[in-house]
Chains A and B, each alone.
Chain A
Amino acid sequence: MAELLAPAGDLEKLKTALLYGADAVFIGGQSFSLRARASNFSLDDMKEATAFAHKLGKKVYVTTNIIPHHEDFDGLLEYLKGLESAHVDAIITASPYIVDTALKQTSLEVHLSTQQSAINARTVNFWYKKGVKRIVLGRELDKHQIKELKEQTEADIEVFIHGGMCMSYSGRCSLSDNMTGRDANRGGCAHSCRWQYEILDGKEKINDTYFSMSSKDLEAIEQIPFLIDANIASLKIEGRMKSLHYIATVVSTYRKLIDEYLATNQVKDYEPYIKAMVKTENRLSSHGYLEGMPGVEQQLYNMRSETPNQLFIGLVKSYDKESGYAMIEQRNYFENGENVEVLMPSGKEIQFKIEEIYDVDGKKIDICRHPKQLLKVKVPVAIEEHAMLRRLS
């Protein structure tokens, strides 16, 4: 059965992803991992993460996906031994040095990162024969190519289904290195492909419109049944730096979709799933390469296409059945009288109008403007811990 794999930038996000329906999460440690700006996990955090996940029968993978320079070799084995002692279920890695060290000197399961841009069966089988159990494919294949590739290998195949797209073959881009000095393959990517450029033929500008390499995000809602039928082992959501609300919404949506397909062998209507995603989208999305070569409709030419999502207003920390009050942690400005929607880990959704808010001292308030402030909110029906309140737009 296809695994739903979600990103987690910290413990709170990890728990959220698993509670909202991910079968596994991938996280970064404090060494050897890309996304240097994500709040990466300490070894103690990882131990807590694996204990939490394993109790639910779920898995934790750790990215060790940098392409190391010689000075990065120090401490690798010790680090991998630490991951082993934290009982992580696999590492996701790109460098042969890390692959080889892990396979020969630890009992860690090894997955090959998309940074190696494996897009054909011969490459996949090369790594599989080396002992790599799972290969994360490059994003440059359409769904039929993915299916045909899987038919030629016993390796587990992992496919990206959602999130940001590298515009270059992953791991082969040095725009950031050259333009900012920040090493894209060691966690410093400056996303120079999303910048805007004048375009010239010789010295003459060919058009006033800026050129950009920026892509819409990937969203594979309508391709999920095909990928499940193609025997893909893992369906991966990208974005270790994304918000709690993003993770909850995206995971919950794919969970429901996968479950519907597995239960009924069909998806009646994709529209509700697509609409659910829009609630967390801060960049336009499309199906990437999955339906063939991306054309103009998959590009972004506007510098500021990213807008912060203000829909997420509070996280439910607890709910008291007797009084009907929920303890909510504020995440974005909201007011008494607003209509809200609650997304729960079970996938259930309800709507209500906020009519009573108190602070922890019992003082009645009308405006909630302090991030992370704890608030008691009267809720008309029972809601689940870890549920998310969002403004009805």
Chain B
Amino acid sequence: MKLLVTVFDLNNVDQLLDRADGIIVGNHKFGTRLTNSFSVDELIFCIDKARAKQKEIFIQANQMFTDKHLELFKAFLQELPLDKLNGVVVADIGGVMVLEELGYSKLAVYNPETLHTNYFDFNYLSSESIKGAYVAKEITLEDIEMIGKKKQHDLFMVGHGHLNMFYSKRNLIQNYADFTQIENVFVEKQTLRIKERTRKDQVYPLFSDLAGTHVFRSKVFQTLNVLDKLEEIVDYLVIDTIFKDDSYGLSILDMYQHKVYNLERVQQIQVTYEEQWDDGFLYFKTFYKKGDM
């Protein structure tokens, strides 16, 4: 199982590459919920760094695409040295098709967020010879293991980080600012939170970028306790550091590399970054309606 981490600051790419097996970077015109956005030149810088260190590099281009946007995406990809990439993470089948047109379907890593809840759907694009796919964030460890046993391409999974639970194309924060007649100084600002009236203890990060508006889980998802099991089936475990910096990424990488759940260290990180961790849906099965619980 390889560990991938997202990047906040180019100055830390070397350090991150020294510790991780690879990095994930993106540009906000095509990627969404990025830890940071980098220009084409900066992405090429990252690619060269990864190559020099014989590490892996992935481009995150996980926006939903209209036809015109796909043409821009194609042009963007053509500016990159695709031969030097290990993968391009896309959330839209149209993105996979663009990679196929360029002769690089083998780079496609399909991440449709919620949709890969069973092994068949997970494997469906193997006919397109893609590199891999992400499993859904909302399934149990047992379901992930089942998918892992029957996988026909690489299995990617977010192993640590803030997981999003809502992605709208609408500019909901701008709309709210218009409604309340306040100035919108919140685009790509990472400190916005929302709190539901009856769930006061749950504070959900709210984020707006060029792709639209996103709401995240209140707790940080972690898989430190199940790494032994994941190692048997997961090819790439992703540490997503959105809302954080690279020192956070380095600390987390350290723990996952050594597979140590050091309570004191965990608490220290949680206090420093004012966050709580949980294991998401690993042991919790969603249900259809109240009666099915």
Contacts and interface: CB of A to CB of B under 8 A. Distances in A.
Interface of A: 36-37, 67-70, 72-73, 94-97, 100, 116-123, 125-127, 138, 140-141, 145, 148-149, 152, 167-169, 171-175, 177-179, 181-188, 192-193, 195-202, 206-207, 209-211, 213, 215, 289, 293-296, 298-299, 301
A282 B179 CA distance: 22
Given A69-B118, A213-B166, A296 B179 contact: yes
B138 A195 contact: no
Contact of A188 (B139, B169, B206, B289): B289
Interface in B214-230: 215, 217
Given A179-B199, A196-B197, A301 B118 contact: no
Nearest to B189: A201
A140 B213 CA distance: 13
For the complex of A and B, the 5 pairs showing the least CB-CB separation, nearest first, are A183-B286, A96-B124, A197-B194, A296-B178, A122-B97
Contacts of B288: 36, 182-183, 186-188
Contacts of B42: none
B27 to A, nearest CB: 19
Nearest to B137: A174
A70 B287 contact: no
B15 to A, nearest CB: 28
Given A123-B93, A294-B170, A36 B289 contact: yes
Interface in B166-187: 166-172, 174-176, 178-180, 182, 186
A180 to B, nearest CB: 9
B203 interface: yes
A179 B284 CA distance: 13
Contact of A67 (B117, B168, B170, B180): B117
Given A69-B117, A96-B124, A197-B195, A173 B167 contact: yes
Contacts of A200: 192-195, 203
A201 B191 contact: yes
A168 B289 contact: no
Nearest to A183: B286
Interface of B: 64-70, 91-94, 96-98, 112-115, 117-121, 124, 137-139, 143, 146, 165-172, 174-176, 178-180, 182, 186, 189, 191-197, 199, 202-204, 206, 213, 215, 217, 281, 284-290, 292-293
Contacts of B64: 117, 119, 138, 140, 169
Contacts of B215: 175, 213
Chain B, interface SS category: mixed
A202 B179 contact: no
B179 to A, nearest CB: 5
A261 to B, nearest CB: 27
Nearest to A208: B180
Contacts of B92: 117, 119-120, 123
24 contacts: A67-B114, A67-B121, A68-B118, A69-B139, A69-B285, A70-B118, A73-B118, A97-B121, A100-B124, A119-B65, A119-B94, A120-B66, A122-B67, A145-B67, A145-B68, A167-B172, A172-B112, A195-B196, A197-B195, A200-B193, A201-B191, A211-B194, A295-B178, A296-B175
Given A120-B65, A178-B217, A301-B176, 5 more contacts: A70-B143, A72-B118, A181-B284, A186-B286, A201-B192
Contact of A173 (B114, B120, B170): B114
A94 to B, nearest CB: 8
A185 B293 contact: no
A120 B139 contact: no
A198 B198 CA distance: 11
Nearest to B150: A70
B228 to A, nearest CB: 22
Contact of A122 (B93, B166, B171, B293): B93
Contact of B166 (A127, A138, A175, A299): A175
B286 A188 contact: yes
Nearest to B179: A296
A37 B292 CA distance: 12
B166 A168 contact: yes
Contact of A145 (B66, B117, B172): B66
A34 to B, nearest CB: 10
A289 B212 CA distance: 13
B286 A140 contact: no
A95 B120 CA distance: 9
A140 B68 CA distance: 14
